[in-house]
Amino acid sequence: MPKKSFIFYLCIFCLLIACNRNTDLYRVVGVKDGDTMVLLSPENQTVTVRLAEVDCPEKDQAFGQSAKQFTSTLCFGKMVKLIANNKDRYGRTVGEVQLEDGTSVNKELVKNGYAWQYRAYSKSMELAMLEQQARLNRLGLWQDANPTPPWNFRKGEKQQRTEKKSRKTKRTYKKRRSRKHRDTVAF
């Protein structure tokens, strides 16, 4: 009798582990850039995730495509665990993504020189040390003499867009003014 009970409870225990194992794992179905990916939940819902505490170069910035490729190679098509922190202003889930073996994608990006620690949102000493090691070893983006942080790159792009809009508005104003002037001169 005890042998049958043991086998019964062992089967129940194994079943619980098997069921529980898949409920918190997501499949990586897309990598938008180095620090943004699309996960498929166990309920077949897509979740766009922005990796917390790290910032990769933008796609059209130096090492942007390399960061995206690194992230893809590391986790595309694999099952991962999502440790969500919150949502950002774009509706993306912000969090840490871990491979099944516990490897943090966030930390691997910084460790291999494909991301900065995003100091505005992170106080992690571990990330700071990983970034310092990558800098010293001139890994990834640290091969450049003076790499531009993505937050500065984005500011520059925003400023260029604003200046372009301003120039366009001035041209439109001048055209309207010259037409008005022609109309008044013609009479």
Concerning whether 58 is annotated as a catalytic residue, the answer is yes
- Which stretches of 45-95 are DSSP H helices? 64-75
Question: Dihedral, CA atoms, 15, 77, 149, 163, nearest 10 degrees?
Answer: -120
124-133: b or e for each residue (b if 16 or more CB lie within 10 Å)?
Answer: beebeebbee
Q: What is the DSSP letter of 140?
A: G
- Of the candidates 21, 27, 43, 58, the residue annotated as catalytic is 58
Which among 141, 108, 32 is positioned nearest to 76, based on CA atoms? 32
* Annotated catalytic residue, options 53, 92, 96, 131: 92
Write out the E strands in 16-167: 25-33, 36-40, 46-51, 54-55, 79-87, 93-99, 116-117
* Annotated catalytic residue within 21, 43, 50, 171: 50
CB 36, CB 50: distance < 8 Å: yes
Residues catalogued as catalytic: 50, 58, 92
